[in-house]
Copies of this chain bind each other. A is one copy, B any other.
């Protein structure tokens, strides 16, 4: 038997949700692992199954846990590939979806400019890593990306050859640095492309591009990565439901 520490004025299901979220943030279980069964949680915290289910429901709807009937409830491994597809219609001539290739143009230790320091919650001129890359689909550049990481957590990236890895960075962050991206927030704007990005994207100067800024965080909410991606507006289409 265990007990819930947080604010006693909150409902029990809320306190259990917070307690579980805290343990997930502290890496008590790794992504893909199961948490204790509902019966075990009921017994451990002396709560009815209905109350336990309501706490687990909340974490499931937040995208942190994933239920599988008959098997258990698991820490969800985020699937950020799909978020990319929400924004861009990267398709081959045959119409199938495809993860764009990655070509790293540079990776280097630098000090954080003020916008980056602010986004990542670091002091000005804190040590960071800056990565510049383009994403390509059938030799055509579709996205130009600038990526900033706090050096304290990602030092190990400087010692490997990123161009020999797959096109997705988040699995590499997890394997090489033990850092798991749990959430992200994206902001979209549009602009006329400047000379530098026009060259990287192989489009005429001043054509319209979509700009996507993304701040990615770990389970505890600490910022892990800030990136700014630019893509030609022709490939861009984003849908959202409103109620």
Chain B residue contacts of A189, Cβ below 8 A: 233, 236-238
Within 8 A of B (CB), among A188-222: 188-192, 206-210
* A8 CB–B CB distance under 8 Å: no
Within 8 A of B (CB), among A106-143: none
Given A242-B80, A243-B62, residue A208 in contact with residue B192 (CB < 8 A)? yes
* A185 CB–B CB distance under 8 Å: yes
Chain B residue contacts of A209, Cβ below 8 A: 190, 208
Within 8 A of B (CB), among A38-79: 50, 62-64, 78
Q: A185-B241, A191-B233, A206-B206 are in contact. List 7 more A-B contacts (CB 8 A).
A: A78-B243, A80-B242, A183-B241, A187-B237, A187-B238, A188-B238, A189-B233
Tell me what chain A mostly uses at the interface: helix, strand, loop, or mixed: strand
Q: Residue A207 contacts which of B78, B185, B192, B237 (CB distance < 8 angstroms)?
A: B192
Instruction: Report how many copies the assembly holds.
Output: 2
* A239 CB–B CB distance under 8 Å: yes
* A10 CB–B CB distance under 8 Å: no
Q: Residue A185 contacts which of B63, B80, B185, B240 (CB distance < 8 angstroms)?
A: B240
Q: Residue A242 contacts which of B185, B192, B206, B207 (CB distance < 8 angstroms)?
A: B185
Chain B residue contacts of A207, Cβ below 8 A: 192
Chain B residue contacts of A242, Cβ below 8 A: 80, 83, 183-186
User: How long is the Cα–Cα vector from A242 to B240 in the complex, in angstroms?
Assistant: 12
User: How long is the Cα–Cα vector from A50 to B50 in the complex, in angstroms?
Assistant: 10
A/B interface sample: 22 pairs, CB < 8 A: A50-B50, A63-B243, A78-B243, A80-B242, A183-B241, A183-B243, A184-B243, A185-B241, A186-B242, A188-B188, A188-B237, A188-B239, A189-B237, A189-B238, A190-B208, A190-B209, A190-B233, A190-B236, A192-B208, A208-B208, A208-B209, A208-B233
Chain B residue contacts of A64, Cβ below 8 A: 243
- Chain B's closest residue to A84 (CB) is B242
Chain B residue contacts of A63, Cβ below 8 A: 243
